[in-house]
């Protein structure tokens, strides 16, 4: 039952020693506050990194570079060019379900960009030769129209799917891009789709200033023969990304006479492996945050325990009187534990609320100011973390009061009254 006298007694004790209570409570407040801030910032870093993993989590990418080891009569330093025959060979692999060959036609950062012109407007953005399967690996948001399809590939249609930034640069806001034409390298292409992306920051800028055309069209129109720059894959059911990665590399080695000892000629990116490593990094950050914060909370609780020991000494006579009139040891322990819980609970709650308020304030400010980053986004504290913090708080507060309470319960009424 609610004992008003007991709560009034606790309030009077705290009121009589305001500075001591405030300093003790600050240690607990700071521990919980730092826990929330560290975990919120860790989540912000994780969200910033994960927002750019907007690709199939089991995807594998593979490409070639110059050879570094002589092999079968071929010198080192040989450039290996992937082609349509590689695509045909890869389609025979049991480990592969989806294949998306890609060809870079122009890149404005390397000075190889082709001009994209509409009327008197001209830009120079990245142009990619792609296949319909690309959307299985990289799911864009289609705002208008459609993506490339098989008929586009079979007929080598001169059609283009453009990013939002390309549309904004070439078309006025009131104009509909779908069905209109742009000239790429002097060749007219009909716009059949406009896409947006789910990623943020610099990667979003790069993606939204890209133009996708059919791979077959890119090869024929821009005199790129049957060249392919790299492949994206989705493993078949029952195959792991690593198995798919190894099988693809083996095909490349066999077809292009690459030494098994050449570690540079064949390059790959295993999304699942990178994703696991990144998850491990952020799990480590979260663990370190808990370690630092728990250490701070323990320091605060040691302060609470010390204060409760001082309170027990100051109230020795009172405790002796309580025991002499029949107070049980459990009630004495409960009284001390309750005082410790009041101090630690109030301070911890304020720290929790302050930390959550600050994290949410930062998230709101970033959203309203449009502050987008590849490394930090949407700092947040989930409900589970709040519950965990409260559990740690209650446990440590009770522990901080238990041992002083145990000492108080062992005080002999005779000795307590005699000492006074």
- Every domain of the chain and the residues it spans: 4-53+276-419, 60-269
Q: What is the pLDDT of residue 108?
A: 39
Q: What are phi and psi of 77, to 5 degrees?
A: 90, 10
Report in angstroms the alpha-carbon separations of 372 from 13, 44, 51, 159, 285.
Answer: 50, 12, 11, 32, 22
Q: Which neighbouring-strand residues pair with 182?
A: 189
Provide the residue-wise pLDDT of the chain in tens; the chain has 420 residues: 455 655 665 666 666 667 767 777 777 788 788 878 887 877 777 776 666 667 888 999 999 999 999 988 888 899 999 999 999 999 999 999 999 999 998 653 455 678 899 999 999 888 999 999 999 999 899 999 999 999 999 999 999 999 999 999 999 989 999 999 999 988 999 999 999 988 777 777 888 999 999 999 999 998 888 999 999 999 999 899 999 999 999 999 999 999 999 989 999 999 888 888 877 887 887 788 778 777 777 777 777 777 777 776 766 666 666 666 666 767 777 777 777 777 777 887 888 888 888 888 877 777 677 665 656 666 677 667 777 777 777 777 777 777 776 776 666 665 655 555
Record the tokens describing residue 274, joined without a space. 């990178």
How far apart, in whole angstroms, are the C-alpha atoms of residue 36 and residue 405? 30
Residue the block writes with tokens 């308020």? 357
b/e 5-34 (16+ beta carbons within 10 angstroms → b): eeeebbeebbeeeeeebeebbbbbbbbbbb
Q: How far apart are the first and last CA of the chain?
A: 33
Helix (H, G, I), strand (E, B) or coil at 65: coil
Task: Give 213's DSSP letter.
Answer: E
List the one residue out of 72, 73, 116, 71 whose CA is nearest residue 265. 71
In this structure, are residues 413 and 83 in contact, taking their beta carbons and an 8 Å threshold? no
- Count Cα neighbours of 403 within 13 Å in the Cβ-side half-sphere: 13
Report in angstroms the alpha-carbon separations of 172 from 30, 119, 121, 165.
Answer: 54, 12, 11, 12
DSSP string, 97-137: EEEEEEEEEE-TTTT-PPPEEETTEEE--EEEEE-TTHHHH
List the one residue out of 310, 370, 384 whose CA is nearest residue 21. 310
Q: What is the pLDDT of residue 131?
A: 96
In this structure, are residues 123 and 207 in contact, taking their beta carbons and an 8 Å threshold? no
Helix (H, G, I), strand (E, B) or coil at 83: strand
Report in angstroms the alpha-carbon separations of 148 from 163, 216, 230, 380.
Answer: 13, 11, 18, 38
């Amino acid at each position: 039952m609610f004992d008003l006298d007991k709560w009034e007694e606790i309030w009077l004790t705290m009121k009589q020693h305001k500075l001591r209570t405030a300093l003790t409570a600050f240690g607990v407040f700071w521990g919980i506050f730092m826990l929330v801030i560290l975990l919120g910032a860790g989540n912000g870093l994780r969200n910033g990194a994960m927002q750019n993993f907007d690709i199939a989590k089991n995807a594998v990418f593979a490409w070639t570079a110059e050879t570094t080891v002589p092999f079968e009569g071929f010198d080192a330093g040989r450039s290996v060019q992937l082609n349509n025959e590689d695509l045909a060979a890869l389609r025979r692999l049991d480990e592969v379900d989806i294949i998306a060959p890609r060809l870079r036609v122009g890149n404005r950062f390397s000075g190889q960009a082709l001009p994209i012109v509409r009327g008197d407007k001209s830009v120079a953005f990245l142009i990619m030769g792609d296949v319909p399967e690309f959307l299985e690996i990289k799911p864009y948001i289609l705002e208008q129209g459609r993506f490339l399809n098989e008929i586009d590939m079979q007929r080598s249609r001169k059609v283009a799917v453009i990013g939002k930034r390309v549309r904004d640069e070439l078309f006025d806001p009131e104009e509909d891009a779908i069905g209109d034409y742009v000239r790429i390298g002097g060749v007219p292409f009909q716009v059949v789709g406009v896409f947006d992306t789910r990623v943020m920051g610099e990667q979003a800028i790069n993606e939204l200033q890209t133009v996708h055309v059919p791979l077959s069209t890119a090869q024929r129109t821009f005199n790129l023969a049957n060249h392919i720059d790299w492949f994206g894959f989705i493993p078949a059911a029952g195959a792991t990304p690593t198995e798919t990665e190894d099988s693809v590399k083996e095909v490349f080695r066999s077809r292009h006479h690459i030494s098994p000892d050449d570690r540079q000629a064949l390059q790959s990116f295993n999304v699942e492996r990178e994703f696991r490593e990144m998850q491990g990094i952020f799990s480590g950050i979260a663990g370190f945050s808990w370690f630092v914060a728990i250490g701070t909370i323990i320091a605060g609780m040691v302060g609470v325990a010390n204060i409760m020991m001082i309170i027990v000494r100051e109230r020795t006579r009172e405790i002796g009187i309580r025991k002499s009139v029949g107070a049980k040891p459990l009630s004495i322990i409960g009284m001390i534990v309750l005082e410790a819980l009041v101090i630690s609970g109030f301070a911890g709650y304020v720290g929790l609320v302050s930390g959550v308020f600050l994290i949410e304030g930062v998230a709101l400010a970033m959203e309203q100011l449009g502050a987008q980053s590849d490394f930090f986004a949407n700092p947040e504290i989930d409900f589970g973390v709040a519950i965990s913090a409260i559990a740690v708080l209650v446990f440590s507060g009770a522990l901080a009061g238990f041992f002083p309470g145990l000492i108080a319960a062992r005080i002999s009424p005779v000795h307590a009254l005699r000492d006074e």
